[in-house]
């Protein structure tokens, strides 16, 4: 008897996705990776205090480190919820403000889970840099 079991990975692929996104951010943001790390750590509280839509609007208007976080979240949400985007070039913040209350809560939980993984990897990569500098 053959079973068709699809192996998804840790937390539905969140960990692998977060690792790749943080690794790419580290390569792109070389000198400002410490800022990126700090902002990734602050994002969950920003979302809890202001809501997902407000936090994303803040990231959308900010500089390169916050923009990198925004782009990672947008890429992940597009993969997870492709039907919620009306077009291929619709901004994440635009999709979020048009969600129902139930979907908004679901997206908030999904963003928080991804940011948790991103925080862990950003901390780890920053510690690797600190050890290499010693």
Q: Which CATH number fits domain 14-24+33-133: 3.20.20.190, 2.60.40.10, 1.10.520.30, 3.40.50.970?
A: 1.10.520.30
Q: What is the pLDDT of residues 28-61, one digit of tens each?
A: 988 889 999 999 999 999 999 999 999 999 999 9
* Nearest alpha carbon to residue 114 among 59, 85, 77: 77
Whether 119 contacts 41, CB under 8 Å = yes
pLDDT at 3 over 60: no
* Nearest alpha carbon to residue 22 among 82, 55, 93, 71: 71
Instruction: Return the domain boundaries, the chain.
Output: 14-24+33-133
CA angle 51, 12, 107 (to 5 degrees): 15
Residue 1: its pLDDT value, please? Answer: 45
| Total Cβ atoms within 10 A of residue 56 | 29
> If pLDDT is split at 50, 70 and 90, which confidence band does 5 have?
very low
Which percentage of the chain shows pLDDT scores above 70? 88
Which percentage of the chain shows pLDDT scores above 90? 74
Residue 79: its pLDDT value, please? Answer: 94
Tell me the pTM. Answer: 0.87
The terminus-to-terminus CA distance of the chain in angstroms comes to 56
Lowest-pLDDT range, 51-55, 88-92, 125-129?
Answer: 125-129
Residue 126: its pLDDT value, please? Answer: 85
CA dihedral 44, 45, 46, 47 (to 10 degrees): 50
Question: Taking the mean position of all CA atoms in its chain, how far away is CA 75?
Answer: 8
């Amino acid at each position: 008897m053959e079973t068709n079991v699809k192996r998804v990975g840790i937390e539905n692929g969140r960990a692998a996705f977060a690792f790749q996104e943080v690794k790419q951010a580290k390569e792109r943001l070389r000198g400002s990776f410490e800022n990126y790390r700090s902002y990734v750590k602050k994002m969950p509280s920003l979302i809890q205090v202001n809501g997902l839509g407000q936090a994303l609007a803040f990231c959308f208007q900010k500089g390169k480190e916050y923009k990198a976080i925004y782009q990672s979240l947008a890429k992940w949400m597009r993969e997870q919820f492709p039907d919620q985007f009306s077009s291929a070039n619709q901004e994440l913040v635009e999709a979020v403000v048009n969600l129902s209350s139930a979907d908004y809560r679901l997206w908030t939980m999904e963003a928080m889970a991804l940011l948790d993984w991103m925080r862990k990897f950003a901390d780890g990569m920053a510690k690797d840099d600190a050890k290499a500098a010693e």
